């Protein structure tokens, strides 16, 4: 049996799910579906369990998200085959090309199962049955895609027309054509015909087969990706694509580059409770609702409210006598929108970006390879942060010219290095880092270290960091491109 390698595409910012999903921490890394704590990325990997010949996944993400991806895979006990880092987004055709080139680099030719990291599929067993139904066709060299059996005349999705009816079958059917998002009347005709499915963006094919079609139909994509891989660099557990070569790659989807033009395409109907979680209203529609039609997440009280999506990440949210609303509370933003206007959230993000508002791209909590920090409050010459350092992790060895720091440990035990001298600092203990002191904080324990940091000085910008050592391969020059509230 041909081995099957999942290729999980982790790109995209999901701005229609703002304020939860932002560029610094997009929707695929949040627990949005189901009642558990698993994120959409983790669910994507876990629903593959039980597929025959399954190999470790190949994940492709933006370089800024590499430690988020690695940590979420570690949390579910998955050791990826490789995490490929894109210096910038170039759509799905380059991502698939890079995956195929990497998979065949040493003479192997596995099946590649291309998946988005941000989809919801409620029937995991039915999903796996559809994958197995497409395996033989993919092993024979066909390019298999999975078409979602439509439940309504949806105008927000592209469609796939099969050469024959697909009702009641899971077998691969030759593809007649791809159709862009239709109007309502056309979508109704599609449903009545029994030959159309929604384009899910999931694919199954042999690495050599998709590579051959890419070479034939989009050779410029393959050449740019080959150059990016030939000059790649290892970065800890990651493989970083060469920036200049990848920047020269065309920005094109695999559907456009290959699938609409190939004569080797086949579609497998998939009826497994699929959703691309494209908006808050979609999330409300696909989630389990209470007797009043509400979806409640977090610290929420609902009284005489109907058909609402109410979500709290921190503070208590109360819905009293309201209907058809989306209310989402985060650490720095509260969104209140009519469910019918949920798609328009993306335009609000655009306005914030024009204004240069930090809320458009990042949360108050910022994630780093060693943990996270959260800005609590600040004044003219001081600021206070909560810092969480993961077990076994360490901040860089650094010093500051213009600020001093007080560290108070409130949970766990930290090792603090100051000018070459180490000390253990436990709960309810503190230490002082004077201006100009070369220092580092590490967590040698089994639980996260939680610490309150008080910074004081005439200048608190993060370009006042001189970094001497860093286990994560970061350099001091990179700090000039970071937020003024970053901690490294």
What CATH number does residue 58 fall under?
3.90.550.10
Q: Terminus-to-terminus CA distance in the chain, angstroms? A: 46
114 and 211 co-located in one domain: yes
- The answer to whether the Cα torsion of 92, 94, 97, 101 is positive or negative is negative
Q: Which two tokens stand for residue 433?
A: 């880092």
CA distance 112 to 221: 18
Q: Are 392 and 444 in contact (CB under 8 A)?
A: yes
- Predicted local distance difference test score (pLDDT) of residue 488: 58
In a domain, 30, yes or no: yes
Examine the pLDDT at 484 and tell me if it is beyond 80: no
In a domain, 263, yes or no: yes
- When mean pLDDT is compared across 35-44, 166-175, 263-272, the lowest value belongs to 166-175
Dihedral pair phi/psi, residue 71, rounded to 5°: -70, -40
371 sits in the region (left: phi over 0; alpha: psi -120 to 50; else beta) called: left
CA atoms within 13 A on the CB side of 408: 9
324 and 419 co-located in one domain: no
Q: Are 302 and 204 in contact (CB under 8 A)?
A: no
344 and 378 co-located in one domain: no
Dihedral pair phi/psi, residue 335, rounded to 5°: -100, 130
What domain range includes position 122?
A: 4-275
The strand pair at 120-121 and 196-206 is best described as unpaired
CA distance 72 to 205: 27
- Predicted local distance difference test score (pLDDT) of residue 486: 46
Examine the pLDDT at 128 and tell me if it is beyond 80: yes
CA distance 144 to 156: 22
CA distance 457 to 221: 51
Q: Which two tokens stand for residue 439?
A: 């220092």
- When mean pLDDT is compared across 3-12, 234-243, 285-294, the lowest value belongs to 234-243
CA proximity to 406, closest of 448, 451, 372, 450: 451
What CATH number does residue 435 fall under?
2.60.120.10
95 and 242 co-located in one domain: yes
**What residues contact 360, with CB distance under 8 A and at least 6 apart?**
18, 22, 23, 349, 352, 353
CA distance 401 to 71: 33
CA distance 386 to 148: 45
User: Where a domain ends, among 355, 390, 414?
Assistant: 355
Structure-model confidence comparison of residues 210 and 486, the more confident one: 210
268 and 284 co-located in one domain: no
In a domain, 486, yes or no: no
User: Where a domain ends, among 275, 290, 310?
Assistant: 275
- When mean pLDDT is compared across 19-23, 300-304, 351-355, 469-473, the lowest value belongs to 469-473
Integer CA distances (angstroms), 153 to 6, 158, 183, 192, 193, in order: 31, 11, 9, 9, 12
- Predicted local distance difference test score (pLDDT) of residue 476: 52
336 and 385 co-located in one domain: no
Q: Are 416 and 422 in contact (CB under 8 A)?
A: yes
CA distance 227 to 224: 5
Q: Are 274 and 120 in contact (CB under 8 A)?
A: yes
pLDDT (average), residues 448-465: 91
Mean predicted lDDT score pLDDT of the chain? 91
406 and 269 co-located in one domain: no
- The answer to whether the Cα torsion of 56, 59, 64, 65 is positive or negative is negative
In a domain, 360, yes or no: no
pLDDT (average), residues 14-24: 93
User: Where a domain ends, among 250, 275, 300?
Assistant: 275
In a domain, 487, yes or no: no
What is the number of other CB atoms lying within 10 angstroms of the CB of residue 177? 12
- Predicted local distance difference test score (pLDDT) of residue 233: 76
Considering only CA atoms, give the Rg of the chain.
Answer: 25
266 and 290 co-located in one domain: no
334 and 402 co-located in one domain: no
pLDDT band at 487 (very low <50, low <70, confident <90, very high): low
Element (H, E) at 312: strand 309-312
- The answer to whether the Cα torsion of 19, 22, 27, 29 is positive or negative is negative
In a domain, 106, yes or no: yes
- Predicted local distance difference test score (pLDDT) of residue 375: 86
CA distance 72 to 68: 6
Integer CA distances (angstroms), 110 to 55, 141, 367, 387, in order: 9, 11, 34, 43
Structure-model confidence comparison of residues 307 and 374, the more confident one: 307
Element (H, E) at 71: helix 66-75
In a domain, 488, yes or no: no
CA atoms within 13 A on the CB side of 286: 22
pLDDT band at 334 (very low <50, low <70, confident <90, very high): very high
- Predicted local distance difference test score (pLDDT) of residue 366: 84
231 and 115 co-located in one domain: yes
pLDDT (average), residues 370-382: 90
pLDDT (average), residues 121-141: 95
What is the number of other CB atoms lying within 10 angstroms of the CB of residue 28? 30
- Predicted local distance difference test score (pLDDT) of residue 272: 93
169 and 62 co-located in one domain: yes
Q: Which residue has the tokens 């490294």?
A: 488
In a domain, 148, yes or no: yes
**What residues contact 36, with CB distance under 8 A and at least 6 apart?**
none
345 and 369 co-located in one domain: no
- Number of structural domains (the chain) is 3
What pTM value is reported for the model? 0.87
CA distance 446 to 427: 14
């Amino acid at each position: 049996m041909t081995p099957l390698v999942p290729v999980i595409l982790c790109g995209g910012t999901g701005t229609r799910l703002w304020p939860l999903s932002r560029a610094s921490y997009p929707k695929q890394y949040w627990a949005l579906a189901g009642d558990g704590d698993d994120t959409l990325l983790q669910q994507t990997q876990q629903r593959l369990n039980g597929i025959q010949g399954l190999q470790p996944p190949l994940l492709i993400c933006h370089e800024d998200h590499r430690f988020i991806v690695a940590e979420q895979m570690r949390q579910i006990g998955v050791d990826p085959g490789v995490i490929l880092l894109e210096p910038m987004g170039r759509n799905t055709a380059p991502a698939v090309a890079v995956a195929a080139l990497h998979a065949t680099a040493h003479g192997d030719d596995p099946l590649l199962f291309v998946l988005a990291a941000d989809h919801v599929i409620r029937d995991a067993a039915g999903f796996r049955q559809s994958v197995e139904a497409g395996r033989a066709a993919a092993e024979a060299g066909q390019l298999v895609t999975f078409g979602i059996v439509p439940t309504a005349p949806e105008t927000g999705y592209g469609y796939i027309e099969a050469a024959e009816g697909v009702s009641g079958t899971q077998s691969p059917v030759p593809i007649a054509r791809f159709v862009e998002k239709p109007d309502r009347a056309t979508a109704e005709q599609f449903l009545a015909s029994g030959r159309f499915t929604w384009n899910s963006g999931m694919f199954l094919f042999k690495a050599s087969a998709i590579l051959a079609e890419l070479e034939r139909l989009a050779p410029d994509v393959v050449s740019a990706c080959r150059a990016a891989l030939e000059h790649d660099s290892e970065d800890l557990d990651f493989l970083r694509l060469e920036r200049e070569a990848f920047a020269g790659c065309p920005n094109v989807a695999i559907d456009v580059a290959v699938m609409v033009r190939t004569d080797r395409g086949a579609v497998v109907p998939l009826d497994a409770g699929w959703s691309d979680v494209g908006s808050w209203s979609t999330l409300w529609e696909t989630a389990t609702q209470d007797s009043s039609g509400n979806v409640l997440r977090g610290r929420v009280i609902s009284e005489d409210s109907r058909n609402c999506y109410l979500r709290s990440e921190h503070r208590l949210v109360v819905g009293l006598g309201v209907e058809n609303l989306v209310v989402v509370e985060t650490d720095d933003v509260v969104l209140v929108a009519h469910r019918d206007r949920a798609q328009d959230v993306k335009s609000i993000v655009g306005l914030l970006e024009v204004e240069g508002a930090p809320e458009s791209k990042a949360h108050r909590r910022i994630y780093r390879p060693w943990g996270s920090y959260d800005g609590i409050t600040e004044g003219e010459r001081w600021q206070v942060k909560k810092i969480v350092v993961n077990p076994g992790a360490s901040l860089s060895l650094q010093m500051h010219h213009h600020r001093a720091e007080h560290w108070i440990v409130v949970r766990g035990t930290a090792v603090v290095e100051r000018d070459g001298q180490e000390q253990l600092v436990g709960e309810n203990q503190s230490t002082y880092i004077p201006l100009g002191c070369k220092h580092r904080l590490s967590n040698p324990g089994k639980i996260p270290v939680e610490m309150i940091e008080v910074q004081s000085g005439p200048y608190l910008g993060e370009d006042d960091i001189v970094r001497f050592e860093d286990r994560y391969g970061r350099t001091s020059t990179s700090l000039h491109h970071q937020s003024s509230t970053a901690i490294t």
